[in-house]
Chains A and B, each alone.
Chain A
Amino acid sequence: MALKLVGSFPVQPDRVWCAAPHPHLPLVATASTDRAVRIYSLRDFSLVSTIEGGHKRSIRSISWKPNTKGENVLATGSFDSSTGIWHQEHRHAAGGDGEEPLESNAEEREEDEEWRFAVVLDGHDSEVKSVAWSAGGSFLATCSRDKTVWIWEDMGNENYETIAVLQDHSQDVKMVAWHPEEELLASSSYDDTVRLYKEDVDDWVCCAVLTGHTSTVWSISFEKNGHQSRLASASDDQTARIWHRKPKAKEESSTQPPSIIKGTGDETENWEEQSCLPKVHTRTIYSVDWSKKTGLIATAGGDGQIVVYQEVDGAKDGEQPGAGAEGRKEWKIIAQVPAAHGVYEINSVTWCPKWDKKGTTVDGELLLSTGDDGVVNIFELSL
């Protein structure tokens, strides 16, 4: 298999930190050093809008709010220590949930609709590094160099309330990511750990700590596969690792070795490292993304490479199939692109659906990468 470059978005003047595909429209938003958000169409790879004026410093991270009706909502995290919430209302029909023709119409109108800087969420003491909406859209998580993770709840009418300030990390928090189905939040840090949080009665608490990386963990991504929850992490130690949640220990499990997981009471979760992806990166891995559609994992980083991994049956010839309870699985590299942004570093990779010109999703999946060259490249995996 090979990754084929199928397009790229026009050059922006500065480093592009990340790109976020819209949850159900053929749009992608980028966050860049020039303090602007750009929205591109995934139908024809054209620039739809440029949003400026909300932040005083680089925009580091961007996230589309899922499940919005009749409007588009973006959250942006900036080095100016604030988080912005942006609204774009559709005056007429709703933005469609499921009906493609409506969606494409809605998207055409977007070129005329103004984006409005609706809310500024202040609270962090220093640069906001990452923002992420929960799967249902009711919570927004933010994290910062101030070592904290904040959870904001959307109270409606553009009111946001801080419902948790989590201070478990001992250093900068680089990224936050929500579980695709559960209200389970993960954060990764300069302190080399990944932490997981969930709500315990009225308080959000840290329910697991994943240790193993030997340097900053830059990026995390959950697998979407029901309750077989797993998480991928990518680090400055040049490795990417897979962590999985072990089934809840039974009451009478006192004979088991003590859990390394710290936390409180019943809310602790038992997570452990399952595997390390094949080592091919030669510089920091800045980004990892686990495809919600195909289960493939992509990584990219300072060495300019994009690597795609697939989980395959690892049982060798002569070995009994299904010997272990989970079966023996291992990760293989199925595609590798050196210099995916020429001589420049790559800051993020993200999977997104493939669309035709009419705005209908089609078979296949695209991989978007953003680089220090100010370019967003679009790749497709071909057999």
Chain B
Amino acid sequence: MSDIINANPTILNPSDLPTRHSESRKKQSSSAHIADTISRLPAPKALLYDPFASSPGEDSAYSSGASDRDGDEDETAAEDIDEQEIYDLISTISDPEHPLSLGELAVINLPHIHVTHTSPTPQNPHPMSHVLVEITPTINHCSLATVIGLGVRVRLEQALPPRFRIDVRIREGTHQSTDQVNKQLNDKERVAAACENETLMGVLSNMLATCK
């Protein structure tokens, strides 16, 4: 890659970032649960070097990691996944051009994450949960906004139970082509095809390698 797009970003001190990591993990059964899910994901190298194996990237994680266990997951973790949980999952993603996390760069901010749960009803025993993440690119013409958004989406698709519907958007007014990027990030078919592109998955797996 050529020049760094934003050579001088604002950086937050990691100790100031909101987190539920480490000090409280043992008490947080759902944290442990998610960490457990993540540990079952294929190694990043599998995503990078073997796109033609019978378990391609995102989808294999989806089926082998999550779907065969969603039964008990639905019951145990349903009420527990909150905004902080989502923040912990995605704020540790690395920026594609800085050796810093999306949390440190304030690309991901706790107040810009919204989680909604719906209670089961007799008509619909399988309600969906919804998470909306609004991303704040470091500069308003950042061409990497799509890659960052895709990284956030892939991370959440891999880590969250399948009942979650995930919307990743660029925060209003923080980017010059918000609508265009939003439309791409939320087009299921484009995301699925991108996850079969080994070059892109290489970039993404580097970004996700720092996730705790």
List residues of A whose CB falls within 8 A of some B CB: 13-15, 33-34, 56-58, 60, 79, 126-127, 129, 145, 172, 174, 190, 215-216, 236, 283-284, 286, 302-304, 338-339, 342-345, 372-374
Contact = CB atoms under 8 A, between A and B. Distances in A.
B162 A145 contact: no
Interface stretch (B7-15, B88-96, B137-145, B187-195): B187-195
Interface string B45-61: 00000001010100110
Of listed A33, A145, A303, residue having the most chain B CB within 10 A? A33
Interface of B: 52, 54, 56, 59-60, 62-63, 67, 70, 74, 123-128, 161-163, 165, 183, 187-190, 192-193, 196
Q: Which 5 interchain pairs have the tightest Cβ spacing? A: A343-B163, A339-B126, A338-B124, A343-B126, A342-B126
B165 A283 contact: yes
Given A57-B196, A374-B63, 8 more contacts: A15-B59, A33-B59, A58-B56, A172-B190, A190-B187, A216-B187, A286-B188, A339-B127
Nearest to B74: A343
A14 B183 contact: no
Nearest to A14: B59
Of listed B62, B124, B192, residue having the most chain A CB within 10 A? B192
Contacts of B63: 13-14, 374
A39 to B, nearest CB: 19
Nearest to A340: B126
Contact of B189 (A13, A174, A338): A174
B55 to A, nearest CB: 8
Nearest to A57: B196
Contacts, number: 72
B183 A343 contact: no
B125 A302 contact: no
B194 to A, nearest CB: 10
B183 A339 contact: no
B165 to A, nearest CB: 6
B187 A302 contact: no
A284 B54 contact: no
A372 B126 contact: no
